[in-house]
Structure 1
């Protein structure tokens, strides 16, 4: 999955949605450098927030909105779950014979801080929790260069994502006065652009064998 600062999705009001939310959390954990301990705690918190939202008495066709975001400047992973119900979420201390009611107690124990706020639509609320994650990775910085200077192994910003250049070659046709570069990326189709087009590349990419190797395509006669 390409690096980004948040993901927003909606889930149906069914029990399997808790697992889906956890799976999406795991999907971004690697890109964001979330440690295993924090990931385990975030998984518990997100599960409780989604479970609570599913229990809110609202029509069954109302979806639950989930947002997972990283705030690297604050060293925080933020989890948000919105539902169409009213009420105020409060931490309870259930008796020993009660089987439920401990969800927010767990959230309160694991989260750096948490709270709730009205949804922008005016219907329902969003319950959020933030977990301290000092090693969370920020969005990679980039610098703008001409396409012809890009090297294999670098990561480029294309179609709104950071993709790795697996290979590339230059093209020039007699019927076309402009030179072109074709980038072979790790996801999606190849990208053919003019050699002097600006591309944003990730600063200081990790070294790879074969960096800087150009493979010139045969020119048409």
Structure 2
């Protein structure tokens, strides 16, 4: 059974697999589930599956200590719009791109990686033990998240997005209740959100806001 250990960031996941041929389809299934959760498009997901299959297959073929495992790390970089796949093993040697003959059945894995990846590479493990092979793909679904702007709750408009409870929520409606006043002064503002309960805050409460296209002209 795979040993999963997710990192704290939602866009970085690592897991370990046993050195067994069943780990190749298992790694593809795990990648498919992770990228589905990240809303990565089908074309990029399919290419990433091919890359991961080749890298895990190469890691399993490398001579390694008995009982070792293969490590897989998936990460996305919004800054560069990249999806990164890493495969680590304790095996000997360093993978190199080969030009196999027509009658050879092996040796084409890294040719495929080189053809599909935006860029790829390899580095040695700690103390020279083992290695990590990585490959990156450009993905149109990975774009930098617009920076939020801090503004008073009373100025928030329907159609904007606010950062509350650790996530971005779209504001569906804005209502001011003058009969409810906070100690700091000003009426209560009630924001109807696309997820979760309405948010009740002081009109002067600072909120982190993103503007999205097609927003309404102003608060209701």
Q: TM-score, normalised by structure 1?
A: 0.67
What's the secondary structure of 1:67's corresponding residue?
Answer: strand
Cα separation, 1, equivalents of 2:182 and 2:125: 54
Match of 2:32 in 1: 22
User: How many residue pairs get matched?
Assistant: 202
Instruction: Show structure 1 runs of 5+ residues with no match.
Output: 215-221
Contact persistence 1:22–1:47 (CA under 8 A): no
Work out which structure has the larger RCO, using CA pairs closer than 8 Å and 6 or more positions apart in sequence: 1
Q: Map 1:21-170 onto structure 2 (within 5 A).
A: 21-29=31-39, 38=44, 40-53=46-59, 57=64, 62=69, 64-70=71-77, 72-73=79-80, 76-87=81-92, 88-96=94-102, 98-118=104-124, 124-132=130-138, 136-170=142-176
* Deviation of 1:79 (Å): 1.1
* Deviations 1:192-218 (CA, angstroms, capped at 9, x unpaired): 333212222114x1114x55343xxxx
Rate the CA distance shift 1:169–1:25 in 2: closer, same or farther, 3 A. Answer: same
Tell me how far apart the structure 1 counterparts of residues 178 and 69 of structure 2 sit (CA, whole Å).
55
Residue 201 in 1 paired to residue 205 in 2? no
Q: 1:24 to 1:61 in 2, by over 3 A?
A: same
Higher strand proportion: 2
Tell me which moved more, 142-151 or 177-186: 177-186
Cα deviation for residue 107 of structure 1 reads 0.6
Cα distance in 2 for partners of 1:131, 1:78 equals 5
Normalised TM-score (structure 2): 0.68
Q: Secondary structure at the match of 2:38?
A: helix
Q: Which has the higher mean CA deviation after the structures are superposed, 86-95 or 143-152?
A: 86-95
Structure 1 residues 211 and 106, CA, compared in 2 at 3 Å: closer, same or farther? Answer: same
| TM superposition shift of 1:106 | 0.6
8 Å CA contact 1:54, 1:64 repeated in 2:
no
CA distance in 2 between counterparts of 1:38 and 1:166 reads 33
Q: Distance in 2 between matches of 1:107 and 1:53?
A: 14
Aligned mate of 2:14, from 10, 13, 17: 10
Contact 1:68 1:80 in 2 (8 A): yes
Deviations 1:134-187 (A, max 9, x none): 785222132211122212221122344333223343456668545433434334
